[in-house]
Amino acid sequence: MNKTIAYIVSNPGVNDARVIKMAHAAAKKGYKVHLFGTLKPGFDAFEEIENITFYRYEWKPINILFEKSLFFQLVRFINKKFAIYLAKKMLPYIKYFLFSSIYADEISKINPDLIHAHDLICLPTAKHASTINNVPYIYDAHELEIHRNPPLPWLQKMYVKYIETKYSKDASCVITVGRYVANELAKHLPNAKIEVLYNSPIRNESPYKLRKDLKIADNKKILLYVGKVAMGRGIEEIIKILPSLSSDIIFATVGPFDPKQKALLEKMAEKYKVTSRFTILPPVPYDKVVDYIKDADLGIISVQPVTLSYQYSMPNKLFELSFARVPIISNELDEIQEFLEEHNNGIAIDINNMIYLTHYISKLMKTKEKYIMSDDQYENLVQQYSWEKQLEKLFVIYSNTLGLDHQKLELTTEDIKLRSIGKILNQSEFDPVRAGLVDS
C-alpha cells in the first residue's frame, strides 16, 4: 500500500487504547504509520515498535511561550511571577497554536498522505501540516470538547467551539465515539461528514482470571467496576452500600489507580467494615480485559452525567463488560440505556439513589440469567460493535479519503493482537508482564 499516515496525540502515544488500536491495525493493513506525541518520563523521544514510528517532543507550553514570544520575554524580565500568571491565564486560548508550532513542521517532514488528529488540541496542527503538504486530514473527537468536565467558563467554551468549527470545516471526515455525540457535534459542524467508531475492545485470551486473582471461593459473587480508579467515580457509593448487600457479594475494581486514591478508598472500606469484601486490582492489557473479567457476576457503570459529554458517553467499559457477557447496571445515560435495552444485557437506573442502587444490585445478582445475552443477541453485538467492524469502517474512511479502491477488511483477532504491550509499557509501576491500560 505504501501510503503514510501521521497520527497526532497529546500524550506519549500509548495511554489511549483507541489510538494505539487504530495505529497497529493501520500498520497491519500496510500503511506506513508515524505517531507524534508528547515526551514524558520513562519514554524515548524516538522509537520504532511493531512497524510504528514514534516521535515524542517535550510539551511544556509555558516554557514554549516564553521561548517564542518577545512580549512574554519582556514581561518576565520585568516581573517573573506576573509573567507566569499571565501565561497561565492565556494558555487555554493559545495552547492550540503553541502545539502546532512544535509539531506541524515535524509532521510535514515525513510527507504524510493522510493526517489523523486525535482530540481538539491536535486539530489546528493537522490543518497546518495538511496545508504544508497539501494532503487530507481527519479529526477524531474523543468527546464533546465544549462539554468537558470540569465545565469550561463561558468565554473559553465559546472559544473552544470556534476553534473546533473553524478547523473541522476542511477535515475530510470527523470521527467520534457515539451517535448522541455525533448529533451534538453536527449542531456546530453542520457541513462535516461525521462517522461513529465505537471504543470496542480487542478480545484476546488472558493468562490471568479475575476470580483467581481475587482469591475467593466459587460461591462468592463479584460486583465489578472497570476503569480508572479514583474518588468521584461512584466507587465510594458502592463501598457505602456494601454492608446492606448480601455478605456473599464482593466488590472489585480493575484498572489504573493513583496510590493516594487507592489508600483513600481502602480507608473508606475500613470505616464501613467491608475491607474483606473490597479489592482494587491492577490493570491488565486492554486486549485481554474481556477475557479476564468473564468471571464477574455484575458490572457497574457509574459515570455521572455532570456534563453533556458524560451524559452521551459510550465508554470502553460498556463494551468490555458486554463482550464478556457480564450483566450491567448503569447510570441513566442516553445511548448506554438504549444499548442495554437493545441487547438485553442490563438496566439503567439512577445510581445516585442509594435505595434503588442497593435494591437493583441485589435483584440482578439473583436474576442475572435474564440479562445474559443469547447467542443470537451476542452475534448481533459482534456484527454492530466489535472492533473488527469498527476497523472496517475506519479503513473505508481512509480509502475514501485517499481515493483508494477499498477491499473488505479481513483481520482475525490474532492479526490485530497488540504484541508490543510489554515493550511499550516496560516502565509501568505494575508488574511489566501484567501491565496494561484500561480506559475510563
Give the pLDDT confidence of 329-339 residue by residue, as tens digits: 999 999 999 99
Cell output for 436: 496494561
Which of 54-63, 174-183, 289-298, 417-426 has the lowest average pLDDT? 417-426
Three-state secondary-structure class, residue 8: strand
| Residue 405: predicted pLDDT | 62
Set out the domains of the chain in order of their start, with CATH numbers. Answer: 4-200+386-409 (3.40.50.2000), 210-378 (3.40.50.2000)
Q: 241-245, 304-308, 361-365, 391-395: which has the minimum mean pLDDT?
A: 304-308
pLDDT at 359 exceeding the cut of 80:
yes
Residue 305: which residues within 8 A CB-CB, separation 6 or more? 311, 331, 332, 333
SS3 state of residue 90: helix
- Do 28 and 416 contact (CB within 8 A), yes or no? yes
- Band (pLDDT 50/70/90 cuts) for residue 417 is very low
Provide, rounded to the nearest whole percent, the portion of the chain with pLDDT above 90.
86
One DSSP character per residue, 101-156 reads HHHHHHHHTT--SEEEEESGGGHHHHHHHHHHHT--EEEEESS-GGG-SSPPPHHH
Give me the mean pLDDT over the 411-432 stretch. 37
For residue 166 the three cell numbers come to 473553524
Mean pLDDT of the residues in the chain: 91
Which pLDDT score is estimated for 407? 46
Q: Provide the percentage of residues in the chain whose pLDDT is more than 70.
A: 92
Contact 301, 317 (CB under 8 A): yes
Please write the tens of the pLDDT for every residue from 292-336. 999 999 999 999 898 999 999 999 999 999 999 999 999 999 999
Q: Which cell numbers hold the place of 122?
A: 491536535
395: Cα within 13 Å, side-chain hemisphere: 24
412 pLDDT band, cuts 50/70/90, is very low
pLDDT number for residue 232: 74
* Among 91, 155, 97, CA closest to 121: 97
Q: What is the pLDDT of residues 33-45, one digit of tens each?
A: 999 999 999 999 9
Higher pLDDT, 149 or 205: 205
**Is the CB of residue 87 less than 8 Å from the CB of residue 67?**
no
Is pTM beyond 0.75 here? Answer: yes
Distances (CA, A) of 225 to 219, 228, 438: 19, 9, 11
Query: What span, in angstroms and rounded, lies between the C-alpha atoms of 179 and 198?
Result: 9
**Beta partners for residue 6, in sequence order:** 34, 115
Q: What is the DSSP letter of 333?
A: -
